[in-house]
Structure 1
Amino acid sequence: MRLRIFTEPQQGATYDTLLTVARAAEDLGFDAFFRSDHYLKMGNVTGLPGPTDAWITLAGLARETSRIRLGTLMTAATFRAPGPLAISVAQVDQMSGGRVEFGFGAGWFEAEHTAYGLPFPTDARERFDRFEEQLAAIVGLWETPAGETFDYRGRHYRFENSPALPKPAQSPRPPVLVGGTGRRRTPRLAAAYADEYNVPFNVLEDTGAAFDRTRAAVEEAGRTRPMVYSAAQVVCVGRDEAEVARRAAAIGREVPELRVNGLAGSPGEVVDKIGRFAEIGAERLYLQVLDLSDLDHLELIADKVASQLD
């Protein structure tokens, strides 16, 4: 099981804060540093100083870290046109020496679109149609052999005689992550395009059911290359109950609820629950860290949780 640190900067974080957390995650041996891609805070937080752009952030981190992998859960298809997005991600992959992973989703948070002047198709079917076309186009651009051109004709996007440049450092492309718990279309798109399928913030039983739906889609598609299965969970670990309660209060959550809906409790409790995720096939866990000032939390997880995992 590989543990990855996952942050939500729209809740309030500067680039310097994210750099501090990413460097700490790298120094402590975590597998990856991921961030959300949102432009508006959620819930009862200030969100100050305001949003940071995911791919600008990762470009900076690409030059200021050396080992840790970098990515998004999830970049929204509604935020950027597919051609420029393919260019940006490929460039960050080059800047990092091939450490980028591309989490990609259809987009869902209408308020952030209206707040920043971004078109938002209110029909979910249209959003998924656009998402599928973008997936096909971005993967197609990256996988087009050097010296050849890329053409694509969809309902929403068309590419003609594209040089399909620049190429990412990873060949044929960076890993693609698709996530969510949709029952039909999400598993099919994951089977067709993704290297990793992620289930965010669901209880163990529902996560396992989602994994099973995607496994069935992979088999139905006749896919031979492996799929990585992963989950995202909020994390709240303490050396004793008082420390667990303090960390839960700092992020506005209750300990009993977190024990059900996240990874919360003593290091031993969290290791046991991680083991149950491993039993249903999860190979990676994205630990959602909401208090970015609490670097002792990361140190505790690295020392007392990660050290007990294979």
Structure 2
Amino acid sequence: MRLRIFTEPQQGADYDTLLTVAKAAEDLGFDAFFRSDHYLKMGDVSGLPGPTDAWITLAGLARDTSSIRLGTLMTAATFRHPGPLAISVAQVDAMSGGRVEFGLGAGWYEAEHTAYGLPYPTAARERFERYEEQLEIITGLWSTPVGETFDFTGRHYRLADSPALPKPVQSPRPPVLIGGTGPKRTPRLAATYADEYNVPFASVDDTSAAFERTRAAVRAAGRTAPMVYSAAQVVCAGRDDAEVARRAAAIGRDVDELRTNGLTGSAAEIVDRIGSFAEIGAERVYLQILDLSDLDHLEFIASEVAPQLG
């Protein structure tokens, strides 16, 4: 089981804070550092000093770290045009020496679009149409051989005679992540385009059901390439009940609620809970860290939880 650190910078974090957490995660041996891609805070937090752009952040981290993998859960298809996004991700992959993983989602948070002047298709069908076209375009640009051109005509995007450059360092492309629990479209898109399928913030039973839907879609597509299955969960760990309660209070959550909806408690409790996800086929768990000032939390997980997972 690989443990990855997942942050939510829109809740309040500047680049230096994210760099500190990413370097700590790298030094402690975590597999990857991921961040959300949002431009507006959620809930009762200040959000100060304001949002940071996901791919600008990852470009900086690409140069300021050396070994940890870097990615997004999930970049919103509504934020960027697919051609320039393919260029940005390929460039960050090169800047990192081939350490980028590309999570792409349809986009869902209407308020952040309104706040920053981004068009937001209110119909879910249109958002998914755009999302699917972006997946086809981005992966198509990356896979087009050097010296050939890429063309695409869809309902929402058109590319003609694109040189499909630059290419990512990773071949044939950076890993593509698709997530969510949609019953039909998401499994089909994952089977078609993704290297990893992620289920965020769901129970073990609901995660298992989502995995099975995607496995069925993989079989129906006749796909032979392997799929990585993963889960994302908020984590609140501690050496004793007082430490767990302190960390829960710091992120404005109730311990009992976190025990139901996350990875919470002692090292043994968290190892047991992660084991339940491993039993249903999860190979990676993204640990959502909400208090980015608490580096001791990362150290505790690295020293007390990770060694028990094998």
Tell me the TM-score range normalised by the shorter chain.
over 0.9
Counterpart of 2:308?
308
How much does 1:59 deviate?
A: 0.1
How much does 1:63 deviate?
A: 0.2
After superposition, the C-alpha distances for 1:206-257 in whole angstroms (9 at most, x for unaligned) are 0000000000000000000000000000000000000000000000111111
Identity within the alignment, %: 82
Question: Gaps spanning 5+ residues in structure 2: where?
Answer: none
Counterpart of 1:136?
136
SS in 1 for 2:169: coil
Counterpart of 2:2?
2
SS in 2 for 1:245: helix
The within-5 A match list for 1:89-128 is 89-128=89-128
How much does 1:299 deviate?
A: 0.1
Counterpart AA for 1:86: A
Counterpart AA for 2:126: E
How much does 1:307 deviate?
A: 1.0
Structure 1 consecutive aligned stretches of length 4 or more whose deviation exceeds 6 Å:
none
SS in 1 for 2:161: strand
After superposition, the C-alpha distances for 1:125-183 in whole angstroms (9 at most, x for unaligned) are 00000000000000000000111110111111111000000000001100000000000
Counterpart of 2:45?
45
Counterpart of 2:26?
26
The within-5 A match list for 1:1-310 is 1-310=1-310
SS in 2 for 1:119: coil
Counterpart AA for 1:73: L
SS in 2 for 1:234: strand
Counterpart AA for 1:42: M
Question: Gaps spanning 5+ residues in structure 1: where?
Answer: none
SS in 2 for 1:217: helix
Counterpart AA for 1:168: P
Question: CA separation in 2, counterparts of 1:211 and 1:78?
Answer: 26
Question: CA separation in 2, counterparts of 1:269 and 1:145?
Answer: 49
Question: CA separation in 1, counterparts of 2:70 and 2:205?
Answer: 29
Question: CA separation in 1, counterparts of 2:243 and 2:171?
Answer: 45
Counterpart AA for 2:246: R
Question: CA separation in 2, counterparts of 1:275 and 1:205?
Answer: 13
SS in 2 for 1:101: strand
After superposition, the C-alpha distances for 1:273-295 in whole angstroms (9 at most, x for unaligned) are 00000000000000000000000
Question: CA separation in 1, counterparts of 2:61 and 2:35?
Answer: 11
How much does 1:71 deviate?
A: 0.2
How much does 1:202 deviate?
A: 0.5
Counterpart AA for 1:19: L
Counterpart AA for 1:3: L
Question: CA separation in 1, counterparts of 2:277 and 2:254?
Answer: 22
Root mean square deviation of aligned Cα: 0.3
Question: CA separation in 2, counterparts of 1:158 and 1:218?
Answer: 28
Question: CA separation in 1, counterparts of 2:145 and 2:65?
Answer: 29
Question: CA separation in 2, counterparts of 1:50 and 1:256?
Answer: 30
Question: CA separation in 1, counterparts of 2:254 and 2:229?
Answer: 28
Question: CA separation in 2, counterparts of 1:308 and 1:96?
Answer: 30
SS in 2 for 1:67: coil
Question: CA separation in 2, counterparts of 1:196 and 1:168?
Answer: 18
TM-score of the two chains, using structure 2 as the length reference = 1.00
Aligned residues: 310
SS in 2 for 1:151: strand
After superposition, the C-alpha distances for 1:79-98 in whole angstroms (9 at most, x for unaligned) are 00000000000000000000
